[in-house]
Every structure is written in structure tokens, then in C-alpha cells.
Amino acid sequence: MSRLLGHTTWTEHWRRATPALLAVPIGSCEQHGPHLPLDTDIRIANALAHSLADKYDEGDVMVAPPLTITASGEHAGFPGTLSIGTELFEQVIIELVRSADWSSGVVLVNGHGGNRVAVERAVRVLHSEGRKVLAWWPRVAGGDAHAGHTETSIMLAIAPQLVHMERAEVGVTAPLADLIDELREGGVRSVSRNGVLGDPLRASESHGRNVLTRLSIDLVADLDRISRAENDPLAAMAAGTEFHVLGVVTTIDDKHIEVKTAKGSLTSVLLNKQAKFKNKSPRFCLGCFEKYFASSSTPAVPEALSSAPGCTWPICEGDSEFSSPKPRWS
């Protein structure tokens, strides 16, 4: 059975005793400097999704056709860039995952940072509906932001014929944190005339292979940890038992809480009548408490909030422990 979803027939999936996991590569069609192709993010996400499928028995992980035109508004000042915007792309993800209920779950392998808001919003909705979906994107220690040595190295490893190193130029090399306000206001064009955030001249094929290997290992490890580790969402879901997560609350809406663990991973906890909350020193302000915890739809009510200091959004500081019998993938 092919690992490519588009090469299979519906009857092959109907006959399977165990539904396949669906890996969806998510990229973009946007400028990547004067030296990299517009489909760079697509190629990187696709390579990682295929590396995931290769680690499992044939047919256990299927790679969907990639999502190629996504949310790239920050690159609108450069010809060739195509974008459908964050709100529309959020709906695309939601409907795509809903349509994949025949699978055992969906892994969104995201290769474009500009998609993060749409992906995170979509995943929150899908989690609230009880669907199993994991949002994953590459994290490269010491990597630069866009079309620099990191992406150029990876492209030299997977599609060297499309890399024009003779055109490569150093872009803006300031830390992304120093540029973020201007980027949000005016897009990449406002900070970089050539569209590069980094230094592609330092790129090499060998570095690209090493980065891809590490990312592939990370992707498999993250999925394996979520699927099998003790006290893990998927393991708990399969067993029908509770799972516990300890960390700092980063996001709250009316249906779930997102918690960042000490290792930096994000886990989403569904707020239902069985969800429990513990915090040795609660730090929710009265306003946040009334808005997010006291409503009938969010019964995971913390105790002893009278001592909470003023709001320091993102809502709380310090570690909070949550447990839920109906966890969701993060």
C-alpha cells in the first residue's frame, strides 16, 4: 500500500483493520529571498511528513497532498507570493480535519511560521469537538528566521537544483524579537529589502542533512511520546483514564486551556465537568476568573482565588496542574 494518500483507493482504507494516521504537510507559496524557490516551505514540510511515514510500517501513516497556498500576508510586498489569509486558512484546516474522521488522527506538519495563528485556532476548535489532531512545526536551535542559513541548508539537501547560491545575499540578521513589532506592522518588506531574515551565505548541504535528520527524529519522538508515554493524552484517551499535565497556562478560551510544560511542549486540556485544577499559589485575577472559570461552560473552577494578584496576561504565572478524562492532542 502506498504511503501517498493520493495514490490509494478508498477501498484500501475501508479494508484496513486499523485506520491510518494522516500526515498533512503545510507550506506556503511565498518569497524566500532571491535564491530560494517560492515553494520552499512546501518542500520542507513534505520532506518531514514523508520521513515520518518512512519510520512506520507501510500504510500506518499516510501522507496527504500538501496545503500549498496558506497565510502569507506578511510577504505580500514581494511578487510571486500567494495568500488566502489567516481566517480563511483556519477554516480550511478545520474542514480538512473534519473530513478525515476515517483516519486514526491527523498530524499537521507545518513548514511556515506565518500559519501558526491559523493552525492554533483551528486546533482549538477541533479539540473542542473531540477530534485527534497534532500541530507540529520545526524548531531549530540556533536557526535564523527566513531564507537564511537554516532553510537554505535544508533546500541544498533536498532540492539543490532549485537553490541559486550565486544570487544569495545576507539579509537582516537582527534577532526576530527585535523585529517583531515592525514585521507585524509592515510585513517583511518593511525590514528586509531582499526578503531574507538571516545569512544564507553560511548554508551547506551537510548542515541541511543534519538539520533534517534532527527534525525527523523530533517529529517521530513527539508523536511517539504523545501516543505511548505514561500520563499522555493519547494513552489516556485509549485507556479511558485521566491524564495530568503540569505547566504554565498560555491560552484560555471557553472550551479549553493550553498549558506549556517545563520542556516547552504545548498541551490542550478540554474544560468539562470532570476537569480538575490545582495551583499552590493561584494567580488568576478576579476578572479572568469570572470570564473563563465561573461560567457554566467552564466548570474546572480553581479554588482560593481570593488571594490572587492582579492580572498578568497570559493569565497566570507559575505552575498549574490540570487533569482531564478527555484529553486532546497538543
Give residue 270's pLDDT band: very low, low, confident or very high (50, 70, 90): low
Higher-confidence position of 164 and 255: 164
Nearest to 134 by CA among 30, 227, 204: 227
Is the confidence at residue 327, as pLDDT, over 50?
Answer: no
Cell of 304: 482560593
For the chain, give the mean pLDDT: 80
Q: What is the mean pLDDT of residues 14-23?
A: 88
Question: What is the per-residue pLDDT for 240?
Answer: 36
Rounded distance, CA 228 to CA 234, Å? 7
pLDDT band at 223 (very low <50, low <70, confident <90, very high): confident
CA-CA distance, 234 to 70, in Å (whole number)? 29
Q: Name the phi and psi angles at 222, rounded to 5.
A: -65, -45
DSSP-derived 3-state class of residue 69 = coil
pLDDT at residue 78 in the model: 96
Q: Give the model confidence (pLDDT) of 274-307 as tens digits.
A: 555 555 444 444 455 545 554 434 444 444 344 4
Number of other residues whose CB lies within 10 A of the CB of residue 76 = 14
190-217 mean pLDDT: 95
Quote the CA–CA distance of 213 and 211 in Å, as a whole number: 5
Which of the pair, 141 or 250, is modelled with greater confidence?
141
Q: In whole angstroms, how far apart are CA 46 and each of 63, 85, 182, 216? A: 8, 21, 31, 11
Q: Using one digit for the tens of pLDDT, what is the confidence trace for 96-131?
A: 999 999 999 999 999 999 999 999 999 999 998 989
Buried b (16+ CB within 10 A) or exposed e, 278-294: ebeebbbbeebbeebbe
**Span 138-153, average pLDDT:** 93
pLDDT value at residue 69: 97
Domain ranges, ordered by start, for the chain = 5-228, 242-324
Asked whether the beta carbons of 246 and 261 are under 8 A apart, the reply is yes
Which range has the worst mean pLDDT, 95-104, 236-245, 247-256?
236-245
Min mean pLDDT across 17-21, 142-146, 160-164, 249-253 is at 249-253
In the chain, DSSP assigns E strands to: 21-26, 61-63, 105-110, 133-136, 243-252, 256-261, 266-270, 276-278, 320-324
Candidate from 119-128, 209-218, 307-316 with smallest mean pLDDT: 307-316
Q: Are 78 and 188 in contact (CB under 8 A)?
A: yes
Please give the class, per CATH, of domain 5-228. alpha beta
pLDDT of residue 275: 58
- pLDDT the model gives residue 2: 82
> How close are the terminal C-alpha atoms of the chain, in Å?
29
Above 90 in pLDDT, residue 205?
A: yes
State residue 319's pLDDT score. Answer: 44
Q: Are 266 and 259 in contact (CB under 8 A)?
A: yes
For the chain, the farthest-separated pair of C-alpha atoms sits apart, in whole angstroms, at 64
The pLDDT of residue 234 is above 70: no
Give residue 221's pLDDT: 85
- Give Cα separations from 24 to 64, 195, 259 (angstroms): 5, 27, 24
CB 297 within 8 A of CB 321: no
Please say if the pLDDT value at position 173 is more than 80: yes
Between 330 and 309, name the one with better pLDDT.
Answer: 309
